[in-house]
Structures are given as C-alpha cells and as structure tokens.
Structure 1
C-alpha cells in the first residue's frame, strides 16, 4: 500500500526531467515536500510516536522504488534516521537528513565525512564517528563536491566548535543502514535499466527483425536478468531481520552481491543500446551513473565480501549453502 502510494508521487514528481534539474542545481522541494507532507518520512517511526510502525521487511520495496526513479533527494536516509535516533531522546530534525557511515578526525582537528550521499544538498548528517552517533548540522560544514558529473555526493568537514556531543554508541548502525539503503537502490535502478534495455532490444530493428530476436543478444539479456533478479533477492535479505536496523551479515551479503552485479549490468545495458546509450539526452545514464556511484558508497563488494568471508570461516556450518541459509538470520553473526 505504502509503496504504491509513494510510487504515485515519484511518477509525478521524480521524472527524468526533474532529476536533471536537481542535478544541475535546482531546488529539490517538489519531491521532498510531497513525500514529507504525505507523512512517508515516518514509515519506520513507531505508531506510539505518530508513525506507521512498519517492520524493516515492509520498507525494502520503498527503498528500491527510490532507486528505480533515481530519486535525487535523501528520502531513504531521512526515513532511516528515525530508528537510528531511537532511545536518544532526540527527534529527527526537520529537513533533509543523510547518513555518513564512516567519518574521520583529521590531524588539523577537523571532523571529515568523505563522499557523503547528498552531501551537497542535505541539511543534516547523522554520522558514525568511531562508533559514536552524532547529529551534525550540514549548514555549518565546509562542502567539497565529488567532481563527478551530476553527483550530489560531497565531502563535508566540521571545525571542533561545530561538532556536538555524541547521542549514543550505536554509530556502527549508520554504516549498516546506509549500505542496506544503497543495496536496495542498486536493485531498483537495475530493474529500471533492464526494463529499458529489454524494451529497446524489442523495438530496435536490424536486418528486418528486432535485435532482441538474435541469439547473441538474448544470451546477454538472460545473463543480465539473472543478475538483476539476484540483486533484488539480496537487497531484500538486508531488511529481513526483526530488529530496528539491518543485521550486519545480511547487509554485508546484500551490499556485496548488488555491488558485484553493477559492472556487468551497466556495461551490458550500454552495449545493447549502442550509440544512443551514451548520450546525455537518453535517460539510461541517469541510472547507470548512480549504479556506479552506489556500488562504491559505504564500501565496494571487496569490503563487504571480506566481512562475509571472515564470518564464513569463523562459523561452523556443514556447507556454504548452510551458511548462506542460516547465518544471515543469526543475531550473533
């Protein structure tokens, strides 16, 4: 129900044209205000606090929808801020809040958050600083753009007097939630990329028939479809736990698997589209650019595969299939 309602807003407000305007420096108010006014930022807020009280499993399709529409505002991150701030006594701030899973303290005293999603447009940053949870005012930060075309990510740094006291010791949860969000976004964007590619192959004719009828193209489409389906299943795994935030191992598997699929899916889509696929006017690049950016966000597949591998070596399971079937749901994993 919530997914359909949100998608109705996104179809109207998060059009490719609107995404391009925001990427070029336009105001994101049209998309942000519509979702905020509908109350959808409170999907994970308990009913006792006026929210919808949804479990994690119910929010996964919503986060995937944000990826499918290449939403250029931190809606998922702002939704996630509510459960991350639980038990802190601090309400989520009014304004666009994003997540910074890994911050560092520099020798000159600055607190730096590298490559923060939506770092160039956000109002607040909920950050993990050596395991502590901090709510930082982005308006007091120095912002440095990533330099990547169309990207809204940026590196933010704060002076000592702009860094507040920690709100809690659950800062590591920020990295997990952010990685799970990106896994879901990758799955959603891949779904859109595959749909665009399949439609193009069915519409584009060569030698008197659609190129989708050629066996070589069908092979590429089938491999692409397998990766897209696998990424979708993996992203759902990250949100399958019963807790307030995604579980560590399930998130690691989800982010690793979705990130691994990005190079093949993106390159195959562009190859099958041919010359039109690399043009700025064609919408494909809105999604493939994000796929590559989200692949690297919160650590690429190499970072998360190492975590999965270490867990597999430490746990006593008869086979790797048993590990994959049981370990992601083990709270102690």
Structure 2
C-alpha cells in the first residue's frame, strides 16, 4: 500500500532531454556530499570538483568552446536538482560567467565568478577602469576572473557591458565578508581604478545575462521549496496526534495545500520565463524577457517565504533542531530569495518597468504566450 507521504511526492517540474540522467547523478553526488558535510553548513568542494570533471558546470556551452554542448534546459534541471537536495554550489554564477566568456574565440580555462555592479555605475571611466565596492561577491576563492554586469536599475536603452576584471590585477583588493545562511562563501571586493576589458562583439547583453541569472535562481528556489514541501508532507502524514496523522487536522491540511499552490505558481512563472528566454532574440524583446524573468524570480521568492514559514509551523520544535534536515532547505530559501538581487529591489524594478511601458502593455507582455 502506498504511504501518504509518497502520494504527495511532486513529479519533476523542470524537464530536458537529459534531465532524468542529471537528477540521478545529482542524487548520488548529494549523498556523498552529505557524508562529507553532515550538518549541511558549507558546500563540499569535492562535489563541485566532481561536477566539473563530469562537464556539468558548463552544460549549455558548445564543445568547441570547452563546454558540454547541452542546452539551457539541462542547466536549469541541474540547478533545480542540486537545490532539491539542499546542495550549494557556484553553478549559477560560474556557468553564467563561462557562458558569457564562451562568446569569444578562445576556449574556456580556469574559474570565473560574477557580480552585479552598484546601480550608480553604468560603465567604465574614460580611462577604461572601474572604481566600486562590491560587499559580497560569491565564490571568489579559486577564481581568477570576475565578470561585472550592470544592475537592472542602471539599465538603459543601449547599456554597456559586461566586462571582466583580473582578480589578481592592479586596483583589486579582497577582504572577508559576512557568511551567508546557505554556506555560500562570500568575499568583499574593492575595485580602485581597476582595469576592465569589455567582452567581444556578440557577447550576451546585460539584460539577457540578468534574465539568465533570474531563471537559474528561480529554479534553485523552486527546487529547495519542493524539498521543504516533501519533507513537511511526509512529517504531517506520519506524525500522529490523538491517534490520527497531523494531516487529518483541517488547519494542517490547509497549510500544506497553500504550500502546493505556491509551488505551482512558481513553476508556471518559471516555465513561461524559460520559454521566453529560449525564443529568438528578435521576437523576445528586452521588455518581454525582463518582465518574464523578473516575474519568475519574484514569484519564486514569495513562494520561498511562504513555504519556509509553513514548513516550520507544521514541524513545530522539531523543525529548528540541527539534527533534522529542514534547516538545510529553509536557510537556502531565505538566502537565495535575495540573491543576487533582493526580492524587494526586483519587485521595485518590475514596478518601474510597468510605469514605463504602461500597465496594459506589461499585462499583455506577461500573459501572452511566449514567442516561438
């Protein structure tokens, strides 16, 4: 007989040609990482090295450029699967930076990370340098190059960028940064008249890079939220009170149903944004792509808040113990919903886009089928 917990297991929400194989590999790697780091406090370097050896850190980059020749859907499925197992890796930042650099003629070498510039910096000075304080740059250790991308609030009709800066070059100072809830290692990077290089013609636009980051983070948020939901569904199905499962209590069932509704909303927004992202850039206008990606990101962030809150409420005191795995998911949900752009800032940016484009126009952009 099927247990109540199993009947509530959600089917995979992100599909691709190799999604099933990727999920199976991640399942095995996550089990190994759990042995290396039982508390789930920090990412396991061995897991990231193994992913790189398998070519999974450059999934949607052509083989001629040093990648695996897969698709963006494959990368979304990988990001989702890692988060569903509460695993933290630099795949979002590294894969996006590598994808940008792969637009050049040379093959990819070394490790690259990525950061958004402050909103008041739109381009380098006349001398080709940038001065900026970046308080929390992820995964700097081991990286030799930093990709700088203009923030959404600084976007203009013909925005410049992105640019690369040598982390070991002149004008670059690194110092410790506050630790993150999810174990992501951050460092503060201060740029003082640091020389930067623009990517060659044909490189992705800053708007498309930001959209890609938003989709990958949305996939990670959805994966972690699904993990927290499954853990909660199993708990209320198996834990009994007054001789019956907690799930029989109407208020508990309502909380679980609300969590599922939020997951479905985040999934729908992500799928629409993914379809828009995949469309030909000639038909997927910057406004359409930016609006769809921001909506997916905001919806996933709101889902994270609701799922984390309800999961802890339904678990009670058990949910805050270090031995129980719920915190592996909820800490990541709380951290990722505001990374790399805080949810409030993303919402404000979408609001400004609505004002600029007009409410009716933005509604058509968000609800029309994604271009083919």
- Establish whether residue 128 from structure 1 lines up as the match of residue 149 from structure 2: yes
Give the counterpart of 2:105 among 75, 89, 109. Answer: 89
1:161, 1:20 → 2: CA distance? 43
1:150, 1:175 → 2: CA distance? 22
- Establish whether residue 178 from structure 1 lines up as the match of residue 213 from structure 2: yes
SS in 2 for 1:94: coil
2:342, 2:332 → 1: CA distance? 14
Between 181-190 and 245-254, the greater mean CA deviation after superposition: 245-254
Q: How do residues 71-82 of structure 1 correspond to structure 2 at under 5 angstroms? A: 71-82=87-98
Give me the CA root mean square deviation: 3.3
- Establish whether residue 9 from structure 1 lines up as the match of residue 41 from structure 2: no
Relative to structure 1, the CA distance from residue 308 to residue 172 in structure 2 (aligned partners, 3 Å threshold; closer, same or farther) is closer
SS in 1 for 2:313: helix
In the superposition, the TM-score normalised over structure 1's length comes to 0.82
Q: How do residues 250-265 of structure 1 correspond to structure 2 at under 5 angstroms? A: 250-265=292-307
Aligned to 1:102: 117
Aligned to 2:186: 154
Aligned to 1:238: 273
Give the counterpart of 1:195 among 230, 254, 264. Answer: 230
1:149, 1:295 → 2: CA distance? 11
Relative to structure 1, the CA distance from residue 176 to residue 202 in structure 2 (aligned partners, 3 Å threshold; closer, same or farther) is same
Please report how far the alpha carbon of residue 243 of structure 1 lies from its aligned counterpart in structure 2 after TM superposition. Answer: 5.3
8 Å CA contact 1:60–1:236 kept in 2: the answer is no
Please report how far the alpha carbon of residue 182 of structure 1 lies from its aligned counterpart in structure 2 after TM superposition. Answer: 1.2
1:162, 1:307 → 2: CA distance? 29
SS in 2 for 1:238: helix
Structure 1 residues not aligned, in runs of 5+: none
**For 1:300-323, what per-residue CA distance to the aligned partner results, in whole angstroms no more than 9, with x for missing partners?**
333222333343444467687644
Please report how far the alpha carbon of residue 51 of structure 1 lies from its aligned counterpart in structure 2 after TM superposition. Answer: 4.1
Please report how far the alpha carbon of residue 237 of structure 1 lies from its aligned counterpart in structure 2 after TM superposition. Answer: 2.9
1:309, 1:295 → 2: CA distance? 18
**For 1:112-142, what per-residue CA distance to the aligned partner results, in whole angstroms no more than 9, with x for missing partners?**
3232333466554322157422334556651
8 Å CA contact 1:68–1:192 kept in 2: the answer is yes
Relative to structure 1, the CA distance from residue 115 to residue 265 in structure 2 (aligned partners, 3 Å threshold; closer, same or farther) is same
1:11, 1:58 → 2: CA distance? 16
Relative to structure 1, the CA distance from residue 49 to residue 154 in structure 2 (aligned partners, 3 Å threshold; closer, same or farther) is closer
- Establish whether residue 144 from structure 1 lines up as the match of residue 173 from structure 2: no
Please report how far the alpha carbon of residue 53 of structure 1 lies from its aligned counterpart in structure 2 after TM superposition. Answer: 3.7
- Establish whether residue 45 from structure 1 lines up as the match of residue 61 from structure 2: yes
8 Å CA contact 1:141–1:158 kept in 2: the answer is yes
How many residues align? The count is 324
Relative to structure 1, the CA distance from residue 301 to residue 288 in structure 2 (aligned partners, 3 Å threshold; closer, same or farther) is same
SS in 1 for 2:322: coil
Structure 2 residues not aligned, in runs of 5+: 1-16, 122-129, 155-159
8 Å CA contact 2:76–2:219 kept in 1: the answer is yes
SS in 2 for 1:296: coil
Relative to structure 1, the CA distance from residue 243 to residue 293 in structure 2 (aligned partners, 3 Å threshold; closer, same or farther) is farther
- Establish whether residue 65 from structure 1 lines up as the match of residue 94 from structure 2: no
Relative to structure 1, the CA distance from residue 190 to residue 153 in structure 2 (aligned partners, 3 Å threshold; closer, same or farther) is same
Give the counterpart of 1:307 among 342, 345, 349. Answer: 349
Aligned to 1:114: 135
8 Å CA contact 2:23–2:77 kept in 1: the answer is no
SS in 2 for 1:115: strand
SS in 2 for 1:113: strand
SS in 1 for 2:146: strand
2:40, 2:327 → 1: CA distance? 15
SS in 1 for 2:198: coil
Please report how far the alpha carbon of residue 159 of structure 1 lies from its aligned counterpart in structure 2 after TM superposition. Answer: 4.6
